[in-house]
Chains A and B, each alone.
Chain A
Amino acid sequence: MNKMIQESRFRSSFRRRAVQAAAFWFFRLAALVNGLALCGIVYFVVKNGWRAISWTFLTQPPADSMTQGGILPCIIGTLALAIGAILVALPIGVASAIYLNEYARPGKLLRVIRLGISNLAGVPSVVFGLFGLAFFVVILKMGTSILAGSLTLAAMSLPVIIGATEEALKSVPDTYREASLGLGATKWQTVYRVVLPAALPGILTGTILSISRAAGETAPIMFTGAVFFSPQLPNSIFDEVMALPYHIYVLATAGTEIEKTRHLQYGTAIVLITLVLGMNLIAILYRSKLRRNR
């Protein structure tokens, strides 16, 4: 009798362990799918496009109605849009985060602001495009320009920057603040001289991440900053530009010779991926170094 119970116990514990092992393999598999998807997409693009990459491709404007030549205007346009967006979004985002983490007290206003930020983060990218078109391009009469495109991208990057900065500010120990206040510094002096410098690396990572995000977006700039083709490089922030993501879209869908420009499409995609994932990788590695040092 006793032996039977023991045996059934043994069996049930064996079964339970087998179930666990099987289930864990499923979980592992799920995690693996992510890696496979990322590697698969990158490998596919690189495999088909590396031949298109050359010095000419990176430093020349498109030629022969965009079936030949390079993508220099697109690279410059994307950089201009992304940097413009950060110049606007960074000060506002950092100041918002400082308010949320250092100044705000729990209450209705804070709840409203938090709801606003999470809603802003959830607004579809194409709706940002509509907003930019109606507000910056039409009402403020900026036209399709780097300025309008950058401002639209800035509105979109704001929640990311706020989130990253807040996290960086939170990681500054309260003892720093207390020490500074205890020495007689005011709140602002404490924030400016103690908290911000300590949080700077974290803010920097967040900034790099949001630049890369802004560089990769297409929908917000489709009606506000980017154009199909522009014969010359932009001279001022009121010029319209070509941009890498929009260029891929245009060549892949709207051209009359889609098959003939395939190599250009892959090439442009490689440049965009390198730019975006490269910046992300730098930010991620930098962040993990920061965490290890802490």
Chain B
Amino acid sequence: MIHKREAAEKIMYYLFTAIGCAAVLIVLLIMVFLFKEGLPIFKVVSVKDMIFGNFWYPTSDPADFGIFPLIMASVWVTLLSALLSVPLGVMTAIYLAEIASKRFAEFVKPTVELLAALPSVVIGFFGMVLVAPFLQETFDLPTGLNLFNASLMLAFMSIPTICSISEDAIHSVPLALKEASLALGATHFETIVRVIIPSSLSGICTAIILGMCRAIGETMVVLMVAGGAAMVPASIFNPVRPMPASIAAEMGEAPVGSDHYHALFAIGIVLFIFTLIFNVVADQITHRFRQTGEASL
């Protein structure tokens, strides 16, 4: 009887361990398939020519597979959206964690969560139908579907990520630090700026990186509102074609196994590497600069 129970326990333990590895397995599978389908393109075009090539004409003959404009589009869209989402996200987090009354915070928090839940296609649709014509008229542009519009819409997608992770970081600042600062005569605002933000800085940085990670990988918004022109943007009102938009727009027409198909997977590799770097950096920050109570200041 005892033996049977022990055996059952062992089986359960190994079963759960195996299933626990599922997430790792999926990440590995994703990598394997991206590389399997993406690497063959480098028989046609060199890595350097692909990454730094300025022309993306995958369907013309001979085809050009330069994705530099797509990479730059993604980078600019992400940076510009961070310019909006970082201050808004972090300030909302500080407001929720420090300033708002408990009751009011309970009302605002779900709003942020619902904003995160809004399907990206709806945000893209909103950008297309309302924001684009508005931008076009106000700034007298050839098209309202451009870098600026996409960044604006993306900002609202990354604010919830930035806000909720920052808020957790701010909440985990020990109360003793705050009390000490207030007792020394600092105002609440001075305490926030000089004590609470510095001691939760690693968490806030993680939040910002993960927010940017979300922005660079977001597909539907950039597909619908970025404009779709594969060129390095010269101004924030230029139409652009970020990497996810290119994959999503063209995969439907690319025959399985063609050069174009492999090229799109290669873009997927670049995109995956970008998000991998963001994640590893965020992970490093969390682990290396872990908040350890009073010692973290």
Show the binding face of A for B, using Cβ within 8 Å.
16-17, 19-20, 23-24, 26-28, 30-31, 33-35, 37-38, 41, 44-45, 92, 95-96, 98-100, 102-104, 109, 112-113, 115-120, 122-131, 133-135, 138-139, 155, 158-159, 162, 186-188, 209, 212-213, 215-219, 222-223, 245-246, 248-249, 252-253, 262, 265, 269, 272-273, 276-277, 280-281, 284, 288
Contacts and interface: CB of A to CB of B under 8 A. Distances in A.
Contacts of B5: 186
14 contacts: A28-B100, A33-B92, A34-B92, A41-B118, A92-B19, A102-B16, A118-B282, A124-B271, A131-B34, A245-B220, A252-B125, A269-B122, A280-B117, A284-B110
Contact of B119 (A103, A118, A158, A272): A272
Contacts of A38: 111, 114-115, 118
Contact of B20 (A24, A96, A249): A96
Contacts of B9: 186-188
A248 B275 contact: no
B90 to A, nearest CB: 8
Nearest to A38: B115
Contacts of B22: 92, 96, 158
B290 interface: no
The list of the 5 closest CB pairs from A to B, nearest first, reads A124-B217, A216-B119, A99-B20, A116-B24, A30-B91
B251 interface: yes
B220 A249 contact: yes
Given A34-B111, A124-B218, A130 B29 contact: no
Contacts of A213: 117
A31 B110 contact: no
Contacts of B265: 130, 134
Nearest to B20: A99
Contact of B219 (A35, A124, A216): A124
A248 B124 CA distance: 10
Interface residues on B, range: 35 or more
A31 B108 contact: yes
Interface string B225-266: 000000000000000000010011001100010000000110
Contacts of B122: 41, 45, 216, 245, 248, 269, 272-273
Interface in B17-38: 17, 19-24, 26-27, 29-30, 33-34, 36-37
Contacts of B244: 124-126, 219
B188 A133 contact: no
Contacts of B216: 124
Interface in B260-290: 264-265, 268, 271-272, 275-276, 278-280, 282-283
B128 interface: yes
Contact of B33 (A120, A131, A209): A131
A29 B293 CA distance: 31
A158 B23 CA distance: 7
B8 interface: yes
A127 B283 CA distance: 21
Nearest to A94: B19
Given A103-B17, A186-B8, A273-B118, A96 B278 contact: no
A245 B121 contact: yes
Contacts of A33: 88, 92
A123 B95 contact: no
B255 to A, nearest CB: 12
Interface in B123-174: 123-126, 128-130, 156, 159-160, 163
A30 B87 contact: yes
Contacts of A218: 119-121, 219-220
Nearest to B192: A23
Contacts of A115: 279-280, 283
Contact of A24 (B19, B99, B252, B276): B99
A277 B213 CA distance: 24
B23 A96 contact: yes
Nearest to B213: A122
B21 A130 contact: no
Contacts of A19: 187, 189
A17 B126 CA distance: 41
B71 interface: no
Given A95-B19, A134-B33, A20 B188 contact: yes
A37 B122 CA distance: 13
B217 A127 contact: yes
B34 A119 contact: no
Nearest to A273: B122
Interface string B100-117: 100000101011111101
B91 A133 contact: no
Contacts of A248: 121-122, 125
B217 A27 contact: no
A129 B13 CA distance: 33
A30 B24 CA distance: 38
Contact of B283 (A20, A98, A118): A118
Contacts of A23: 189
B8 A188 contact: yes
A223 to B, nearest CB: 5
Contacts of B120: 125, 216-219
